[in-house]
Copies of this chain bind each other. A is one copy, B any other.
Amino acid sequence: VPIITLTTDFGVTDAYVGTMKGVILSVAPKAVLVDICHQVPAHDVHAASFLLHQAVPFFPPDTVHLAVVDPGVGSERRAVAVRTQLGTFVAPDNGLLSLALSLAGVEEAVSLTNTDYWLPGASATFHGRDVFAPVAAHLANGIPLSSLGSRVNDLVILPLPEPEFRSPDLTVAHVQYVDGFGNLILDITADQLPSKPVFEVAGLQVRGMHPTYAYGAPGQLIAYVGSTRRYVEIAMPCGHAAEVTGARVGTPVLIRCKVT
C-alpha cells in the first residue's frame, strides 16, 4: 500500500486539507496518508522546499509526496509530477522541489496536462483539491507518470542558499530555516567549515562544534550538525536561539577560524 505525504501552507484551521484527503481516498482508498506540515508560512516556497527535503529521505521510495505551496494557482505556472530514486513528487512547478531534487536526480518529469486525472470541473482556485490530490492518488494506484501529461526537461529549480567564502579567515553563512524550537538551521554543511570554527550571530558568540544539545550549558549558544545530517545548526539548550539572537531567515552568521 503506497504512502502519500502532504505538505501545504493551508493551515489547520480550515477544511482544506481534510477535503484533499477526501479526494485522495475516493481515488485511492488504500493509500496511507501522512502529514508532513500544513503550517508552512503562506506562500513560502523555500520553507516548504526545506521541510520536504528534511522528511523525504525517511520515507520508502515508492512514496508519493504531494506538496502545495502555490502563490501562482490559476496562473500559467505548470503543475508537475517528478519521479526520483527517493520518491515521486506532485507539486506546482515553482521551485518547491529544489532542495529535494538536490538529494536525488530527476528520473522523469511531466507536466500535469491530462485532465482525465483531475477532478471533474476543476476550479481555478483550489488545485490542491482538484489537480494535485487526484493526480497523487492515481500515482499511488500505479498510473505511469507518462499518462499524466507531456514530459518536461526544464523544471523550475531555485538556487540553493549558499555560504559566502569571503577570505581564508571569514565565511559568511546564513540562516535558511528557523524551526519551532527556535533553532537556526544554516546554509553551510559541516565539510564546508574551517577546521576550528567560531560562530557569531547578531553580535553574539556561539560555541562549536558540539555533538549535541546536551553538551552546551543552558543559556549558551552552540553549533552542531543538525538532524538533517547535512547542515550546521545553532541552538540554545533549554532556550530559544531565534528569540535570543533575533535571527530569522537570511540573517548572516560569521564564521572564523579559532585563534588559539
Contact = CB atoms under 8 A, between A and B. Distances in A.
Given A60-B25, A125-B226, A126-B227, A36 B15 contact: yes
Interface residues of A, number: 67
B212 A125 contact: yes
Interface string A203-224: 0000000011111000000001
A174 interface: no
A13 B37 contact: yes
A39 B180 CA distance: 10
A105 interface: no
Contacts of A39: 12-13
Closest 8 CB pairs of A and B: A74-B212, A124-B212, A75-B214, A126-B227, A18-B36, A11-B180, A22-B58, A22-B59
Given A29-B32, A74-B214, 11 more contacts: A1-B30, A11-B180, A13-B39, A16-B179, A18-B34, A22-B34, A22-B63, A26-B60, A74-B211, A125-B213, A130-B227
